[in-house]
Amino acid sequence: FIFLFSLQNNSIKTSKYNFFTFLPLNLFEQFQRIANAYFLFLLILQLIPQISSLAWFTTVVPLVLVLAVSGVKDAIDDFNRHKSDKHVNNRPVQVLINGMLKDEKWMNVQVGDIIKLENNNFVTADLLLLSSSEPHSLTYIETAELDGETNLKVKQALTVTAELGEDLQKLTEFNGAVKCEAPNNKLDKFTGTLTLQGEKYALDNEKMLLRGCTIRNTEWCFGLVIYAGPDTKLMQNSGKTTFKRTSIDRLMNVLVLVIFAFLALMCLILAIGNGIWEYDKGCYFQVYLPWAEGVNSASYSGFLMFWSYVIILNTVVPISLYVSVEIIRLGNSFYIDWDRKMYYPLNDTPAQARTTTLNEELGQIKYIFSDKTGTLTQNIMCFNKCSINGKSYGDVYDMSGQRIEINENTEKVDFSYNQLADPKFAFYDHSLVEAVKLSDVPTHRFFRLLSLCHTVMPEEKKEGNLVYQAQSPDEGALVTAARNFGFVFRARTPETITVVEMGETKIYKLLTILDFNNVRNLVFVAFLFLFLVVRSPEGDLTLYCKGADTILYELLHSSCDSLKEETTEHLNEFAGEGLRTLVVAYKNLDEDYFQDWIRRHHEASTALEGREDKLSELYEEIEKDLMLLGATAIEDKLQDGVPQTIETLAKANIKIWVLTGDKQETAVNIGYSCNLLNEDMEDVFIIEGSTSDDVLNELRNARKKMKPDSFLDSDEINIQFQKSSKNPNVIPDEQANGVYGLVITGHSLAYALEGNLELELVRTACMCKVVICCRVTPLQKAQVVELVKKYKKAVTLAIGDGANDVSMIKTAHIGVGISGQEGMQAVLSSDFSFAQFRYLQRLLLVHGRWSYIRMCKFLKYFFYKNFAFTLVHFWYGFFSGFSAQTVYDEWFITLYNLVYTSLPVLGMSLFDQDVDDRWSMLFPQLYVPGQQNVYFNKIMFVKCMLQGIYSSLILFFIPYGAMYNTMRSDGKAIADYQSFALMAQTCLLIVVSVQIGLDTSYWTVVNQFFIWGSLSVYFAITFTMYSDGMYLIFTASFPFVGTARNTLSQPNVWLAIFLSITLCVLPVVGFRFLKAQLKPTPSDKVLLKIKEAKKRPPPPSPKRRLRRTSTRRSGYAFSHQHGFGALIMSGRNMRPKSPFATTGTFSPNSDKHKHKGL
């Protein structure tokens, strides 16, 4: 075989590292954190004796610990990716080697191999279909992992290769040359040629089986590998694994730079002070304060002191900050893993935090990008209600005539009398079964239509065990309903359809199918009734049809007006419940007229000119004066709790965009049924332009309606455009004059994503409450997410369940995979995963919000306590000749962040919650501050800094003043450096402990233990280290002998400590109180409501089914391919006739079954 590109094997790789690259790549990623690079620089400084004022190991140990913890976590994450890659790469497949089929691993398959696939197998690579078990080498596939659709699609091999069949010898001898386009991400296009025995054959997408598809309803097929591994279209759409960082991480990088500048400024001031002091005063102290070796001037002394103070004051950015951040994130990740309320017992699937570095970002989500199929919906269609001859069926009423809510305890209709019934089908209105059993003519005609008017293919391998293969789930639901009510579609040939009607087998001759198209939105089927079990040799000619009411109503006979009004009322009710509706009608045809129509149809279909117009005229002619039968209502089953989840997330000011590969009609229907779209909206804009100019005009018209002022020169964004020739980096949020929705097709989206239109798209779309993008490719999904990330200062989340969602999951700030619907590709690429969409509200409103608040509290407190701790050294420099002498004992400096203050802040950061999970869900407005980044930002950092500076002044000058020329009660002096150091560090520790107590909202035993335990440990260690025994054993290491018992036994010392605590804490308490009273935030107001509500616990929220009062028809979405009717009529997709299709097996009117189900 000949190809125009380099050959690949079929192995895939989603991991980032291997054994050899892990260490360098991981260290490179970690040193992208400015703080890590800073501590490495600090370590180098500490190795220089002239300027080192602290031992080198005080920096090495924490730095290695941080790098090791992060490295181990990254290694575990990547190990899991390697495991998933190995699982996929080691799947077995049958490969034709030397005339024999041998089992090989997926990763060993190469371009040019011929492989055999069987029913329900995943397609191994991108294959050229050679032959299959089906007639004319057709192969049925499901493309759920590529485009989200579960309706079957048909692929057909070339005739020249179909002849190969499953003859291994012929397949081995098959020798041709394939030339095709280079690997690309276009799922719907393929161009190539096959040259065989001197003949050239065109290859297109209809002959390709793509990786990610599943073989359905096909016993076997053979394919030639065209693209393998990373070259497959699925992997080309997957995107790259990127290193995700939270907005707080990025902010901390900026703040660390600010702190470095502040540190440099302090060190510069102290170094200048040292130079001046040494020049002016130091010469008088040379006897007992000699300059260091090599220092010969005051200026050089100041230069060295600059670096000494860099080392001493480095605690303003302690490395323990990053250790603590990783521990907090890991702990909050475990909460997600352990949350039983996010566990799905049916699949035994718990929630999983697959990445432990993004937890707090979950509390800041502004945009959610969701897949539809398998994410919002179960993709299970259920026949829910119907209207027949003006009577509505499907609701259940009690004895008093009141409608009852259907639940799991409601009695189901008993279909046991029907041996061919589908046992999984459930219906609750017994009156419909009564009408069928009483041989009600309109009811029989209704279900007869449903059993005939479709393009479903039956499969019956065992008698009575019918399996329907429908191109559309809607069609399957309607045929299954007819089957259970006694009209069983049993078999079909190109000319006939076999139906078992109430126990009698009838064969209908199929004359023609007027196939569905996008303009007519109807399916018509013409039948000749041939009653094989009755005497009369005559048959009736009837046309049946089903379609959208908006079009079909125009084709009804005038005699149906009154019935049309009644049916319309029922349609409104069905639409109000979010059901997908469909109108059915029929027409008796005259034999002579129909024969003449068939003749003219044949002439039109073979015309060389104006063929489409002539056929349309003929269709319009026959599609008139129809008799209305009724309407069907199908429920596209949403996942449990989807409408409620969307409603709750909307209250949290989160915008939801649905990105789906499904058709526009289907996507819009789901939009209405899950409360994304509703009739209260001012308008829902449809963007479906076929040119760049059309799309631009549609987008501008939509924006003009939503915000006319946005076209004025005085508009803020327009002013930005005028000032800069380049596009603005961030577009501020714009408020529309109402609530709007926007629907855009994939074709139009391709134009809108171009450079000159993307700004118009993002401005218009972001003004809408809801955006639905339909018929989009996986790559377009990622492009939409990237567009919002680019122009909006907002955190994005993408959620999906299939391989077609992988690219957007990787692109968004947070990627969430739904497990168990369309394979595991989405989960393997995600940051978080669970089994049901409804768990998303708990992930965001509870875990995300708690994680964000905890992280913000932690950072504010951590920066405060370290500014307060470090700046005392700064003030002390002015009283110590700027000599880089530390205020505190060296052991206190070492243990301050590692022991004394680490556990209390970790306790708060792991257990704190302002409100519990129930209130978080009941008041989604509490989520809004996270989106606005209110709790920790640059302003909050400056406040922490100022509070730290203020506290450091108190913590230095109060002990200094208290100790200055002070005597003990026995007349002995305690105004020494060691007593001052002990008093200052004791004041500091108690102040920061009180501060964390003020910051804690939710007290637990653990919090109490950590705070009181840390203080106890401090005093225990202090009295131990300052004891006579420790001094005698380690004289050089513990010089503060007796200081603790001498100093802390004095009342004036404790009075000074109390004064320091009061002066540090009182302004904070006063500010918080006045702010809450005089200028409360929206969050403060909600918290006040919760406090009031706690006094009277709220009643349990009613379990109600969300019902819309809409009058819009949620129309039936035809999902089968255009031309499928012609395929059925041609017989090319027909299997040998089922041996069970010609015999009836039950009769509901027999004595045995007569009263069952009534």
Residue 542 near residue 610 (C-beta atoms within 8 A): no
* Cα–Cα distance for residue pair 239/825, rounded to 1 Å: 13
The full DSSP string for 403-446 is EE---TTSPPP--TT-TTS-TT-----HHHHHHHHTT-HHHHHH
The full DSSP string for 1017-1041 is HHHHHHHHHTSHHHHHHSTTT---T
Strand 192-196 relative to strand 377-388: parallel, antiparallel, unpaired? unpaired
HEC letters along 749-817: HHHHCCCCCHHHHHHHHHHCCEEEEECCCHHHHHHHHHHHHHHCCCEEEEEECCHHHHHHHHHCCEEEE
Residue with tokens 């009653």: 531
The letter for the amino acid at 25 is L
Residue 185 near residue 233 (C-beta atoms within 8 A): yes
Kindly compute the dihedral angle of the four CA atoms of residues 566, 567, 570, 575, in this order, to the nearest 10 degrees: -140
Token pair in block for residue 335: 């909460």
Classify residue 368 by its DSSP letter: E
Q: Which residues contact 576 (CB under 8 A, 6 or more apart)?
A: 1107, 1108, 1109, 1110, 1111
Nearest-5° Cα angle at 878, 873 to 883: 70
The full DSSP string for 1082-1103 is HHHHHHHHHHHHHHSPPPPPP-
* Cα–Cα distance for residue pair 811/748, rounded to 1 Å: 22
Residue among 1149, 961, 976, 1117 nearest 418 (CA): 1149
Phi, psi torsion values for 582, nearest 5 degrees: -150, 135
- Does the active-site annotation cover 801? no
> Which residue among 74, 126, 371, 662 is the active-site one?
371
Token pair in block for residue 548: 């959208």
Residues of the chain by 3-state class (helix, strand, coil), percent to 5: 45, 20, 35
Residue among 250, 33, 30, 243 nearest 937 (CA): 250
Residue among 848, 842, 815 nearest 829 (CA): 815
Residue 688 near residue 745 (C-beta atoms within 8 A): yes
For the chain, the distance separating the N- and C-terminal CA atoms, rounded to the nearest angstrom, is: 66
- Helix or strand run (H / E) with residue 632: strand 627-638
Q: Which residues contact 1138 (CB under 8 A, 6 or more apart)?
A: 458, 460, 490, 491
Residue with tokens 């009608």: 585
Classify residue 730 by its DSSP letter: -
Residue with tokens 């218009």: 764
Token pair in block for residue 933: 């980044």
Classify residue 847 by its DSSP letter: I
Other CB atoms within a 10 A radius of the CB of residue 846 amount to 26
Distances (CA, A) of 977 to 323, 479, 930, 1049: 33, 92, 46, 17
Phi, psi torsion values for 1145, nearest 5 degrees: -125, 0
Residue among 1016, 1008, 1005, 1017 nearest 904 (CA): 1008
Alpha helices by DSSP H, listed for 453-560, are 473-484, 549-552
Return the active site residues: 371
